[in-house]
Amino acid sequence: MKLSGKKIRDDSDRVKVKHLSALSEISIQVNSVHTVEEVLEIIVDSATEELNAKKGSLMLYKTGSQELVIRNSKGVNRKSPLNGRFMLGEGIAGWVAENKQALMLENAADDERFVRRKDHDTDNPMICVPIVNKKQLKGVMCIEQTNDGAKFSHKDLEFMKILGNQAATAIDNAQLFNHLQKSYFDTISALANAVEAKDPYTLGHSERVTQYAITIAEQLGLSEKEIKTMQYASILHDVGKIGVSGNILNKVGRLNFEEYCAIKQHSVIGENIIKRVDFLQETRPIIRGHQERYDGSGYPDGLEGEEIPLLARVLAVADIFDALITDRPYRKAFYYKDAIKIIKDNSGKHLDPKIVEVFLDIFS
Q: Give me the active site residues, please.
A: 241
CA distances from 13 to 17, 20, 23 (A): 6, 10, 15
Question: Where does 39-135 show beta strands of DSSP type E?
Answer: 53-62, 67-74, 85-87, 103-105, 126-133
Long-range contacts from 186-190, C-beta under 8 angstroms, 24+ separation? 188/236, 188/239, 188/273, 188/274, 188/277, 188/280, 189/235, 189/236
Helix (H) or strand (E) holding 38: helix 36-50
Do 43 and 53 contact (CB within 8 A), yes or no?
no
Do 318 and 216 contact (CB within 8 A), yes or no?
yes
CA distances from 217 to 8, 35, 213, 302 (A): 52, 21, 6, 24
Question: Nearest-CA neighbor of 48 among 147, 115, 168?
Answer: 147
**Beta pairing partners, 53:** 146
* CA 324 from centroid of its chain's CA atoms: 32
Strands 67-74 and 85-87: antiparallel
Burial label, 240 (beta-carbon count in 10 A; 0-12, 13-18, 19+): buried
